[in-house]
Amino acid sequence: MAGADTSSPPIESRADLIEAMARGAKPASEWRIGTEHEKHVFHTDPLRPVIYDGPDGIHALLTGVAEQTGWEPFYDGDNPIGLRNDGVAGGISLEPGGQFELSGAPQIDLHGTAAETAEHLRIAKDVAAPLDIHFLGLGVTPLWSVGQIPSMPKSRYAIMAPYMDKVGTLGTSMMFRSCTVQTNLDFSSEADMVKKLRVSLALQPVATALFANSPFVDGKDSGFLSFRSHIWLDTDKARTGMLPFAFEQGFGFEQYADYALDVPMYFVIRNKQYVNVAGENFRAFLEGRLPQLPGEKPSIKDWEDHLSTLFPEVRLKQFLEMRGADMGDEQSVTALSAFWVGLLYDDISLEAAWEMVKPWTEAQREHMRREVPRLGLATPFDRSNLYDIAAQAVGIAEAGLVRRDIRNAQGNDETIHLAPLEQTIRLAKSPADRWLDLYRGAWNGDLTRIFKAAEI
């Protein structure tokens, strides 16, 4: 395989595709919590997006953070596009529109997650302040169109953006003006993975409703509480959605591999360069029939890269990625992980959550997914609405965290990190609902005020 990554073994059989996911299984004593969050960046003088180059650009921000942390830059060509902490998983990366992302290191508990986020924000803001760079905790940029947001110098995005325009109408909005929080959690076996995947898929619209935080787009009320979640409904149907096949009898790693094989490819990396194979088929690659790399067959690394380009509401790799929440304030970052850890990392809570969602039909799950971006907690469901399910889910998560009984130095257990959700349940209003109250009331339609109010 000329130009291929020789450190990654070639795919020899179908079993290798399955093993790339199955080898993530580990005993409960080794389960960890990974939290990722993206932040919009903006200048205040005047109010505008941040470009990559220049003395007050994203490049300068990355350089300053590298100097403070000692983390090593990694590059796309000659341009630094992120930072790695040597010997520790995770790091800092840039999304297409300059969104500044921390992929957190695996943490033992939620207190560690909160401390990691706080330290990252302290350093980032310390470096950013002299550059007049600020961070916004919303799911979608409220003012600027896709065309007004500068593009970061990342080769993969130059491949993805044109392809997105062919397979949906909102793919570039996802790339350039959306921000999410993501929780990554472990499983112990195939059966454990299946149960966790089914519970988290069914409840992902509930998480979307609880964390809805993107009601504005293009300078006005979008008509949605989570415009970010709405974006994913028309991004690329081949690689998004609620994975209905995951609820079919016999589902496991093999069936997910079959799904992934049928999702069109974006790119292959050769000699540290991105080869555009957008729309091609990985099955053809397995047979050496990829037109751009004739005769070449893929390595395990190629397969893992491909798995990372799938965007369902919950993604399976060597762990499970919860992908349904809007970015919010600092506390909401840990609250998302608290919600999912309480539900999935305690056997009693996991079983209770499964019993709650098990009777739901594919049509009911799809109904929630389609209506929640607009209606949030008020989404009709069965003979009630999603608020009742959300309150029940938060209660199950809280009970799970109580049973974990992991305390911080002040003697508090992990339930303290559910505080943002408890406020949402108490008020029966998501963050988006509360922003809309201000926009229609005290702000008198002046949306520029959200840049100070939602700054993190």
Does the global pTM surpass 0.85? yes
pLDDT of residue 430: 98
Nearest 5°: the CA angle 359, 233, 241 is 45
Q: Which helix (H) or strand (E) holds 217?
A: strand 216-217
CATH number of 31-263+310-453: 3.30.590.20
List b or e across 107-132, with b for residues whose CB sees 16 or more CB atoms inside 10 angstroms.
bebbbbbbebbeebbebbeebbeebe
Q: How far is CA 293 from the centre of its chain?
A: 31
List b or e across 412-424, with b for residues whose CB sees 16 or more CB atoms inside 10 angstroms.
ebbbbbbebbeeb
Three-class DSSP category at 223: coil
Q: Please, which contacts does 158-163 make with residues 24 or more away whose CB atoms are closer than 8 Å? A: 159/266, 159/267, 159/274, 159/276, 159/278, 160/96, 160/266, 160/278, 161/96, 162/278, 163/266, 163/278, 163/279
In this structure, what token pair is assigned to residue 406? 């992991």
pLDDT of residue 88: 82
DSSP characters for 191-216?
HHHHHHHHHHHHHHHHHHHHT--B-E
Would you list the domain boundaries of the chain?
A: 31-263+310-453
pLDDT of residue 179: 98
Q: What is the pLDDT along the chain (456 residues), one digit of tens a residue?
A: 345 556 899 999 999 999 999 999 999 999 999 999 999 999 999 999 999 999 999 999 999 999 999 999 999 999 999 999 987 888 999 999 999 999 999 999 999 999 999 999 999 999 999 999 999 999 999 999 999 999 999 999 999 999 999 999 999 999 999 999 999 999 999 999 999 999 999 999 999 999 999 999 999 999 999 999 999 999 999 999 999 999 999 999 999 999 999 999 999 999 989 999 999 999 999 999 999 999 999 999 999 999 999 999 999 999 999 999 999 999 999 999 999 999 999 999 999 999 999 999 999 999 999 999 999 999 999 888 999 999 999 999 999 999 999 999 999 999 999 999 999 999 999 999 999 999 999 999 999 999 999 999
User: Could you give the CA distance from residue 360 to residue 178 in angstroms, rounded to a whole number?
Assistant: 30
Looking only at the bridges linking them, the beta strands covering 267-270 and 273-276 are: antiparallel
> Would you say 35 and 116 are in contact if contact means Cβ atoms under 8 Å apart?
yes
Count of C-beta atoms within a 10 Å radius of residue 307:
20
Contacts of 12 (CB under 8 A, 6+ apart): none
pLDDT of residue 90: 84
